[in-house]
Structures are given as C-alpha cells and as structure tokens.
C-alpha cells in the first residue's frame, strides 16, 4: 500500500521528503488504506491479468504537464518569479 501511495508522488515535480509524506499519509488513515487496498487486490484478481501499463511514461507525462502549468503563475500568483525559481531549484538539486 505504501508503494501505491508513493507512486502518486512520482508524477509530482517536487519530490522532497516523499518518504515522510507517504508515511504520514498512511498513518493518518491506515485502516482505510488497508481496507481499500484489500478490496482493490480482490477485484484485480477476480478480473484476471490486466494489460501492462508503462508507468515510467505516464509519470514522465505527468511531470511535463505539471511544469507546463507553471506559466499560469505569472497571471494568478503574487511573487510568481520567486515561486518558479524555488521550484526549479528543488527539482534540479
């Protein structure tokens, strides 16, 4: 379940402290996540094997889309240049 939660962060541009974020997210709703995960696995097994998914390609696409949204900050966010510089520094460090 933790790996599935961590996968949701892989498409994010900012990847700092991902492990801590996943652990905190899991701890705050552990019973829920385990129940949902158990049900999802049961449904997956009942449906048979699913076609393979190119996860790396989907994650790369998600990151490109996230970066493509940065320019909207020029119009919608105060101090957009500072925010953009911070994002670039975090993703290239």
High-pLDDT (> 90) share of the chain, %: 9
Which band of pLDDT confidence, cut at 50, 70 and 90, is reported for residue 28?
very high
Least confident of 47-51, 63-67, 83-87: 47-51
Does the pLDDT of residue 30 top 80, yes or no?
A: yes
Domain ranges of the chain: 2-92
Q: With the CA atoms of 14, 16, 19 and 25 taken in that order, what torsion angle do they form, in degrees rounded to the nearest 10?
A: -60
The answer to whether residues 70 and 87 touch, using CB atoms and an 8 Å cutoff, is yes
Residue appearing with tokens 């500072």:
82
- pTM for the model stands at 0.49
Instruction: Work out the widest C-alpha separation in the chain, in whole angstroms.
Output: 51
The pLDDT > 70 percentage for the chain reads: 90
């Amino acid at each position: 379940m933790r790996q599935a939660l961590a996968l949701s962060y892989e498409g994010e541009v900012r990847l700092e402290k991902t492990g801590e974020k996943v652990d905190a997210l899991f701890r705050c709703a552990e019973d829920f996540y385990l129940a949902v995960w158990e049900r999802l696995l049961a449904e997956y097994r009942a449906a048979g094997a699913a076609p393979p998914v190119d996860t790396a390609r989907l994650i790369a696409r998600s990151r490109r889309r996230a970066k493509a949204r940065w320019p909207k900050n020029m119009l919608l966010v105060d101090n957009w240049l500072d925010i953009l510089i911070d994002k670039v520094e975090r993703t290239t460090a």
